[in-house]
Amino acid sequence: MFGIESGNSARIISELKDYMENQGLVFKKVNLNDSSPYAILSSETSIGYRTRSKWNKTGVVFFCCKTDANNLSRQLSLPIDDNSSDSKRPYAVFIPEPKIKNAVEILKQNPDNSITSAPSKGRTRNGNSYQDKYWIPYFDHVKKCLLRDGYSNSDSNTETTVRDTFYLERKDPRDFLSWFKDELTLQEAKERVIELLTAAKRKSSNLRNDIKYYSRDLDYFAEFLWQNRIDPETKSKYEILQNLKNKDNVTLIRDRNNGRLCVRKKYSVYNYDVFIKLKESNFYGIPKLIEINKSGDTLYTIEEYIDGKTLYEIVNEKGILEENEAGRIIMELCRILKQFHHMIPQLIHRDIKPSNIILTKDGQVFLIDFNASKEARKNTSEDTVLYGTQYFAAPEQLLGYGSSSPATDIYGLGATLNYLITGLYASQIISPGRYKSVIEKSVKMDPENRYQSIEEFEQAISAI
């Protein structure tokens, strides 16, 4: 690390000089002025004029490792010159004279100040922060995440990512863990970070990158915390891989005995008897249910992992489907649902929607997430638990003026078919194509005016 005095001040900053010399570092004096666009340290290292133009005339320029540069920049609100494609080149940070003393204290936190800093896993601030508590396991978690997501997972880059996360803790320590309570609070945390970054008035290109990487770091820490909530017994049988789609209730795991991929799900709303029947039976077109565990009011399941994408993801990524393909998928769903509607009593899924239907690479269709399912009961005027997803759930589910029946799932099928071929909800527009009449009847407000069975709906599709 090198210190360079900037400006015309003749006074040597003795504390800085003594500190650097005690560390066996080089201290040099250089004068920066308008006629000197670069302060040359060597043939390979220079301070860019772009950043130098922001600096005061009196102060110190530090050439240091990335860790020290980030610490100085964040804690003292200082600019960094990192305009180089050479990862081994030192970072340059200008420190105005009034902040020198604080800077020296910050530098003392990193005595191993090499250009490519080793991760300082044991470093602590006050013994009580989450940084102190989680540093080592979180460092290992981030290293795996960076490799998984295609980023460099060098020790230096991993440490920077970890420090970025705990930098947010220092910004609002009282609320830090509450950011990761669930998906909603995580999204609110991301919005809060965007507000903080925007208020810093960084350049638009820097702001975009900051938002991207801080959002990623929040996801990593959320995933780390959520995985650590999994009970020890499950961890002994399964390797915890990652949370799927940044959800704390859906985790990809691997069976330690046979290497099989599975999905662990957590439900707060469910019908326990339904899951028992799903586990004991061999149904077609749904993930095989492997384990069911109830803890208090929460249900945990482990099921077969289906390698594919939801219809919602497919439409979002590739656009609407051709009518023939959409019709094929709906007919396959009819085949799956008939198994449940023919049970005694009938089992109604009650959450038919694009995000609950997976299409594999070879075209297989799977229906998932039965936590809203219930048995259809005769002589019941309305459902005791209202549940469903807006735009795809039948009115009797959301408004509670009738009980669930096969017509409830038919509403979801019609709304899903409409979405696949228009990209819009049935409440916005009904497809004007070949399936218009089928969709219109399927999504009638009154369940008595819809198709009354899967077979009747299936015949209407086939007749087109």
pLDDT tens across 336-356, in order?
Answer: 999 999 999 999 999 999 999
Q: How far from the centroid of its chain's Cα atoms is residue 137's Cα? A: 19
Mean pLDDT of 135-151: 86
Give 172's pLDDT tier (boundaries 50, 70, 90): low
Say what the pLDDT of residue 93 is: 73
pLDDT tens across 260-297, in order?
Answer: 999 999 888 889 999 999 999 899 999 999 999 888 88
Say what the pLDDT of residue 436 is: 97
Residue 311's φ and ψ, nearest 5 degrees, are -65, -30
Give 124's pLDDT tier (boundaries 50, 70, 90): very low
pLDDT tens across 24-64, in order?
Answer: 555 554 444 433 333 333 333 334 433 444 444 456 666 66
Of 274, 279, 251, 300, nearest in space to 387 by CA: 274
Burial of 280 from C-beta contacts in 10 A (0-12 / 13-18 / 19+): exposed
Give 434's pLDDT tier (boundaries 50, 70, 90): very high
Say what the pLDDT of residue 234 is: 83
**449: how many CB neighbours lie within 10 A of its CB?**
12
CB 37 within 8 A of CB 2: no
What CATH number has the domain spanning 249-304?
A: 3.30.200.20
Give 423's pLDDT tier (boundaries 50, 70, 90): very high
Residue 337's φ and ψ, nearest 5 degrees, are -65, -30
d(C-alpha 43, C-alpha 56), whole Å = 25
Residues in the chain: 464
Say what the pLDDT of residue 305 is: 96
Q: How far from the centroid of its chain's Cα atoms is residue 59's Cα? A: 42
At residue 214's C-alpha, the angle toward residues 211 and 220, to 5°, is 140
What residue spans define the domains of the chain?
2-107, 130-227, 249-304, 308-462
Q: Which secondary structure element, helix H or strand E, spans residue 406, and what is its range?
A: helix 406-422
CATH class of 308-462: mainly alpha
Q: Which of 98-107, 152-161, 425-434 has the lowest mean pLDDT?
A: 98-107
Say what the pLDDT of residue 12 is: 36
d(C-alpha 394, C-alpha 372), whole Å = 13
Q: In one letter, which amino acid is 77?
A: S
